[in-house]
Chains A and B, each alone.
Chain A
Amino acid sequence: MTQGPPPIAATKMMKKLMADHFLGLDRAAREGSPKVAWCTSVGPAELLHAMGFDVYYPENHGALLGATRMATDTIPVANAVGYSPDICSYLTADVGAFLKGVTPLTKAYGIESVPKPDVLVFNTNQCRDVQDWFEWYGRHYGAPVIGVRTQRGVGDVHESMVEDIAAQIEGLVPALEEISGNKFDIDRLRETVDLSKQCTVMWRKVLEYGDKTPAQLSFFDHTIHMAPAVVLRGKPEAVAYYETLLAELQERDAAGMAAVPGERFRLYWDGMPVWGRLRMLGDLMMELDTAIVASTYCNSWIFDAFDADDPFRSMARAYLELFIVRDEAFKERYIQDHVELYGCQGIVFHDAKTCPNNSNNRYAMPQRFAEVHGVPTLVINGDLNDLRCFSDEQAKTNLEAFMEQIAEAAAA
Chain B
Amino acid sequence: MVFGGLDIGASATKAVLVDEKGRLLGFSIRRSGVDFAASAAAGLGEALTQAGLKAGDLGKVFACGYGRSNAAMAAATRTEIACHAAGAYHHFPRAITVVDIGGQDNKVIKINQRGLRTSFKMNRKCAAGTGAFLEEMALRLDLPLESFNDLAAKATSEATLGAYCTVFTATEVLAKIREGVQVEALVKGLFRSVVKRVMEMDTLNGAVVMTGGVAAHNPYLAQMLGAELDGEVLLPPHPQLMGAWGAAILAGRDGEG
Taking A389-B125, A412-B114 as contacts, is the C-beta distance between A404 and B82 under 8 angstroms?
Answer: yes
Q: Is B175 an interface residue (CB 8 A)?
A: no
* CB under 8 Å from chain B, chain A span 380-410: 381, 389-391, 393-394, 397-398, 400-402, 404-405, 408-409
Q: Is B80 an interface residue (CB 8 A)?
A: yes
For residue A376, which residue of chain B has the nearest CB?
A: B119
Taking A401-B81, A401-B120, A404-B81 as contacts, is the C-beta distance between A391 and B114 under 8 angstroms?
Answer: no
Taking A393-B66, A404-B78 as contacts, is the C-beta distance between A398 and B114 under 8 angstroms?
Answer: no
How many contacts A-B (CB < 8 Å)?
40
* CB under 8 Å from chain A, chain B span 26-40: none
A376–chain B nearest beta-carbon distance, Å: 7
Most buried by A among B82, B105, B116, B125: B125
Q: Which of B80, B114, B124 is within 8 Å of A397, CB to CB? A: B80
B107–chain A nearest beta-carbon distance, Å: 9
Are A408 and B79 in contact, CB atoms less than 8 angstroms apart? Answer: no
Are B79 and A409 in contact, CB atoms less than 8 angstroms apart? Answer: no
Binding site secondary structure of chain A: helix
Q: How far is the CA of A315 from the CA of B120 in the complex (A)?
A: 43
For residue B123, which residue of chain A has the nearest CB?
A: A394
Are B125 and A412 in contact, CB atoms less than 8 angstroms apart? Answer: no
Query: Quick one: CB contact mask for B45-83 with A, threshold 8 Å, 1 for yes?
Result: 000000000000000000000100000000000111110
Which residues of the partner chain A approach B121 to less than 8 Å between Cβ atoms?
379
Taking A389-B125, A397-B80, A397-B81 as contacts, is the C-beta distance between A412 and B116 under 8 angstroms?
Answer: yes
Q: How far is the CA of A404 from the CA of B85 in the complex (A)?
A: 12
Which residues of the partner chain B approach A389 to less than 8 Å between Cβ atoms?
125
A288–chain B nearest beta-carbon distance, Å: 11
Q: Is A157 an interface residue (CB 8 A)?
A: no
* CB under 8 Å from chain A, chain B span 113-138: 114, 116-122, 124-125
Q: How far is the CA of A370 from the CA of B203 in the complex (A)?
A: 14
Q: How far is the CA of A341 from the CA of B79 in the complex (A)?
A: 30
Are A405 and B122 in contact, CB atoms less than 8 angstroms apart? Answer: no
Q: Which of B114, B118, B120, B122 is within 8 Å of A394, CB to CB? A: B122
* CB under 8 Å from chain B, chain A span 336-372: 370
A355–chain B nearest beta-carbon distance, Å: 16
Are B116 and A397 in contact, CB atoms less than 8 angstroms apart? Answer: no
Q: How far is the CA of A408 from the CA of B120 in the complex (A)?
A: 14
Q: How far is the CA of A402 from the CA of B79 in the complex (A)?
A: 10
B167–chain A nearest beta-carbon distance, Å: 16
Which residues of the partner chain A approach B105 to less than 8 Å between Cβ atoms?
394
B93–chain A nearest beta-carbon distance, Å: 15
B253–chain A nearest beta-carbon distance, Å: 12
B65–chain A nearest beta-carbon distance, Å: 9
Query: Quick one: CB contact mask for B81-125 with A, threshold 8 Å, 1 for yes?
Result: 110000000000000000000000100000000101111111011
Are B122 and A398 in contact, CB atoms less than 8 angstroms apart? Answer: yes
For residue B114, which residue of chain A has the nearest CB?
A: A412
Q: Would you give 14 A-B contacts (Cβ < 8 Å), ordered by A?
A: A376-B119, A381-B125, A389-B125, A397-B79, A397-B80, A400-B79, A401-B81, A401-B120, A402-B120, A404-B79, A404-B81, A405-B117, A405-B118, A412-B114
The 9 closest A-B pairs by CB, nearest first: A401-B81, A401-B79, A405-B117, A391-B125, A400-B79, A404-B82, A381-B124, A397-B79, A381-B125
A residues bordering B, Cβ < 8 Å?
Answer: 370, 376-377, 379, 381, 389-391, 393-394, 397-398, 400-402, 404-405, 408-409, 412
Q: 13 additional contacts, CB 8 Å, given A376-B119, A394-B105?
A: A377-B119, A379-B121, A381-B124, A381-B125, A389-B125, A397-B80, A401-B79, A402-B120, A404-B78, A404-B117, A405-B118, A405-B120, A412-B116
